[in-house]
């Protein structure tokens, strides 16, 4: 087994021992032309394959923005090689009940040759796999082989429209052709770099906001298996990057940019056919609000209508605008709509204070003594109606941090949507934002409490000064308190809660995160979800780029 140096971080240090003989096999991979050698070690101790790098490879051609002063900010640095796999040395003890695979998706390659991408959301997708079995941990990562990535690798240039990037046409006729491809969706990226979900039938799909960017992968090998082709005739170009996925259903929102509104769709396990549950017409204008995510309760789908709205004109532009593909329309106001799952009818539609959110946390139904639903409560990571968070996520801003406190404030925003026909709902902080450093994003909850009244949420908070969320935070929404885990100078990715099998307490389980540390290295981290103290960590052979969202695939 690979043996790596102990972490330099002081809190929660454990020692671990292992004896793992291997057979060595040479392995090579390349990333935009650079060939990198590793050694493949085939274990005879139960874990099938482990690749261990003989040395951390040199980084591929660094961005000009990746200066010597910021080289150690590995969170914002392109992935070092196309793929790697290996067993990691574990400090501490991985619970023996934790058997399965954590998958994390995110943008991991932010340059093509000498051309550097502008925004965090532009990078080509890197899938990271942490496989836990019998107290041991094997890590792997691999580039998702989307058409966008393969075309860039072949032509050494951008070929599809990304979040803030557009291919540079050679002449006016090429520009006209690109516009035609945009209207048909042909030039939109399929770079599925945002999330990864396990469907009820076991298929694993990587997603982004373009419908064509739905790509099936093998969770064991990380092979790209092909496009997830929807078999219905609903059409459209975009959808929510975060569907609601359970063992029994898949729910999503399809924004209608022509006749402003949203289709709410459901897909049964084992099928590729989305069926329309109902439609929500926008009450504001001139286009639908961005629906990166949305919440559900046991009986309702909550459809947010945010004043940060899609902008067709900005989509057509070759250079990014201040809000990229969106525009801020405060005069169009903000709304929350509630649709009955059973009938598809809109049962509430209320105006709420202006808000900006990427991620909803959870929602549930409030009931009176006779069991009648009186209100819907929906919680989100709310950025105080401040759209500057989008600009703060440009790579230039992330890489040029010199200690200033420039992260925009965020809170756990709690919507209360009355179900008695009242025209207005409320939006307030669910707890004092100072509990989590006025930073809040990248959240998860116990999946058994999806759509139900819950107490705990896990997210990334802030220890200021900072320019990005830098703590792992456990939120207690009943006691209105927070516990914060910090590795000074590091960047943690989304904390994912995994419940212990047979657990009866809401926070009985572990929280998994991947950490990019201040030394340019990184490690996998396990926290006890109840105490929020470290139980294990495993150092990576080299630091990994920041990732976005993940899922848990239990061993079957």
pLDDT, tens digit (0-9, with 9 covering 90-100), for 380-429:
999 999 999 999 999 999 999 888 999 999 999 999 999 999 999 999 99
Q: What is the pLDDT of residues 495-536, one digit of tens each?
A: 999 999 999 999 999 999 999 998 999 999 999 999 999 999
Which among 323, 312, 306 has a CA at the least distance from the CA of 121? Answer: 323
Q: What is the mean pLDDT of residues 242-247?
A: 97
Q: Region 107-132: what's the mean pLDDT?
A: 96
What pLDDT is attached to residue 484?
98
Which residue's entry shows tokens 């904390």?
495
Instruction: Give 233's contacts (C-beta < 8 A, 6+ positions apart).
Output: none
CA distance 420 to 335: 16
Mean pLDDT of the chain: 88
The set of residues, in sequence order, having a beta carbon less than 8 Å from that of 553 and lying 6+ positions away, is 100, 101, 102, 103, 198, 204, 219
At 168, is the pLDDT very low, low, confident or very high (cuts 50, 70, 90)?
A: confident
Check pLDDT > 60 for residue 63. Answer: no
Residues 6+ apart with CB under 8 A from 372: none
Q: What is the DSSP annotation of 117-155? A: --BGGGSEEEEEEEEEETTEEEEEEEE---HHHHHHHHH
Contact between 114 and 70 (Cβ < 8 Å): no
Per-residue pLDDT reduced to its tens digit, 465-501:
999 999 999 999 999 999 999 999 999 999 999 999 9
Give me the DSSP letters along 357-368.
EEEEEEEEEEE-
Query: Where are any strands of DSSP class E within 44-135?
Result: 50-52, 83-87, 90-92, 100-105, 107-109, 111-112, 115-116, 124-133
Q: Is 359 annotated as a binding residue?
A: yes
- CB–CB of 472/494 below 8 Å? no
> What pLDDT is stored for residue 318 in this prediction?
64
CA distances from 399 to 123, 205, 318, 396, 543 (A): 15, 30, 24, 5, 15
Q: Cα–Cα distance between 555 and 212 in angstroms, integer?
A: 29
Annotated binding residue 549: yes
Read off the pTM: 0.88
How far apart, in whole angstroms, are the C-alpha atoms of residue 282 and residue 189?
27
Under 8 Å between Cβ of 239 and 197: no
The pLDDT of residue 4 is 30
- Give all strands of the β-sheet with 50-52 in edge-to-edge order: 22-31, 34-43, 50-52
Q: Where are the domains of the chain?
A: 74-554
Query: 403: which residues sit within 8 A by CB, 6+ positions away?
Result: 465
| Reported confidence tier of residue 289, pLDDT bands at 50, 70, 90 | very high
Q: 496, 512 in Cβ contact below 8 A?
A: yes
pLDDT at 57 over 70: no
The pLDDT assigned to 30 comes to: 53
Terminal alpha carbon distance of the chain: 25
For residue 438, what pLDDT is reported?
98
d(CA 437, CA 410): 9
Predicted pLDDT at 31: 63
22 is in an annotated binding site: no
How many of the other CB atoms lie within 10 Å of CB of 435?
20
Give per-residue pLDDT as tens, 334-358: 999 999 999 999 999 999 999 999 9
Distance CA 207, CA 195 (A): 5
Mean pLDDT value across residues 296-308: 98
Residue 239 among known ligand-binding residues: no
Q: Are 163 and 324 in contact (CB under 8 A)?
A: yes
Rounded to 5°, angle at Cα 397 from 391 and 400: 170
d(CA 65, CA 482): 36
Half-sphere exposure of 453 (CA within 13 A, CB side): 7
CA-closest candidate to residue 377, choices 367, 361, 363, 356: 363
**Cα–Cα–Cα angle for 236, 240, 242, rounded to 5 degrees:** 145
- pLDDT over 70 (residue 181): no
pLDDT at res. 319 = 76
- The CA distance from 534 to 323, in Å, is 38
528, with CB counted inside 10 A (0-12, 13-18, 19+), is middle
Residue that is written with structure tokens 């959301």 in the block: 121
What integer pLDDT is reported at residue 53 of this predicted model?
36
Residue 37 has pLDDT above 60, yes or no: no
pLDDT over 90, % of the chain:
78
Question: What mean pLDDT do residues 99-128 have?
Answer: 96
Pair 91, 7: CB distance under 8 Å: yes
């Amino acid at each position: 087994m690979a043996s790596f140096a102990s972490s330099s971080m002081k809190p929660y240090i454990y020692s671990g021992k292992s004896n793992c003989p291997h057979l060595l096999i040479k392995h090579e991979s390349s990333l935009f032309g650079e060939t990198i050698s590793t050694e493949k070690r085939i274990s005879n101790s139960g874990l099938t394959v482990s690749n261990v790098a003989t040395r951390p490879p040199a980084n591929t051609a660094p961005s000009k923005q990746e200066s010597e002063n910021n080289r150690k900010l590995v969170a914002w640095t392109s992935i070092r090689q196309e793929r790697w796999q290996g067993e990691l040395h574990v400090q501490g003890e991985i619970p023996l009940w934790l058997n399965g695979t954590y998958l994390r998706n995110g943008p991991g390659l932010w340059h093509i040759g000498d051309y550097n991408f502008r925004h965090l959301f532009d990078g080509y997708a890197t899938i990271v796999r942490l496989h836990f079995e019998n107290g041991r941990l094997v890590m792997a990562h691999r580039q998702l082989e989307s058409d966008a990535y393969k075309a860039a690798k072949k032509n050494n240039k951008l070929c599809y429209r990304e979040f803030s990037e557009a291919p540079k046409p050679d002449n006016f006729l090429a520009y006209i052709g690109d516009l035609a491809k945009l209207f048909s969706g042909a030039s939109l990226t399929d770079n599925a770099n945002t999330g990864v979900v396990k469907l009820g039938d076991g298929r694993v799909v990587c997603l982004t906001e373009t419908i064509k960017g739905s790509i099936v992968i093998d969770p064991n090998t990380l092979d790209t298996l092909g496009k997830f082709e929807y078999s219905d005739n609903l059409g459209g170009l975009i959808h929510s990057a975060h569907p609601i996925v359970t063992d029994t259903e898949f729910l999503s929102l399809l924004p209608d940019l022509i006749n402003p509104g949203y289709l709410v769709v459901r897909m049964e396990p084992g099928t590729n056919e989305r069926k329309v549950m109902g439609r929500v017409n926008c009450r504001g204008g001139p286009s639908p609000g961005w629906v990166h995510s949305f919440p559900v309760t046991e009986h309702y789908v909550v459809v947010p209508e945010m004043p940060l709205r899609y902008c067709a004109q900005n989509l057509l532009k070759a250079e990014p605008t201040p809000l990229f593909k969106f525009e801020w329309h405060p005069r169009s106001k903000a709304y929350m709509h509630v649709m009955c799952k059973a009938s598809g009818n809109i049962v509430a539609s209320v105006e709420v204070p202006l808000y900006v959110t990427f991620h909803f946390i959870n929602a549930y139904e409030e009931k009176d003594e006779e069991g009648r639903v009186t209100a819907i409560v929906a919680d989100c990571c709310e950025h105080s109606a401040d759209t500057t968070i989008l600009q703060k996520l440009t790579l230039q801003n992330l890489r040029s941090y010199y200690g200033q406190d420039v992260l925009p404030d965020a809170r756990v925003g709690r919507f209360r949507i009355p179900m008695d026909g009242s025209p207005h709902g409320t939006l307030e902080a669910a707890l004092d934002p100072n509990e989590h450093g006025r930073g809040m994003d990248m959240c998860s909850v116990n999946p058994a409490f999806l759509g139900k009244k819950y107490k705990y949420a896990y997210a990334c908070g802030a220890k200021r000064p900072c320019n990005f969320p830098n703590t792992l935070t456990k939120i207690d929404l009943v006691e209105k308190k927070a516990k914060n885990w910090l590795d000074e100078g590091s960047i943690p990715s989304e904390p994912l809660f995994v419940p212990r099998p047979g657990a009866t307490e809401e926070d009985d389980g572990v929280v998994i995160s991947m950490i990019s540390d201040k030394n340019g290295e990184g490690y996998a981290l396990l926290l006890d979800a109840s105490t929020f103290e470290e139980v294990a960590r495993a150092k990576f052979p080299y630091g990994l780029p920041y990732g976005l969202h993940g899922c848990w695939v239990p061993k079957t």
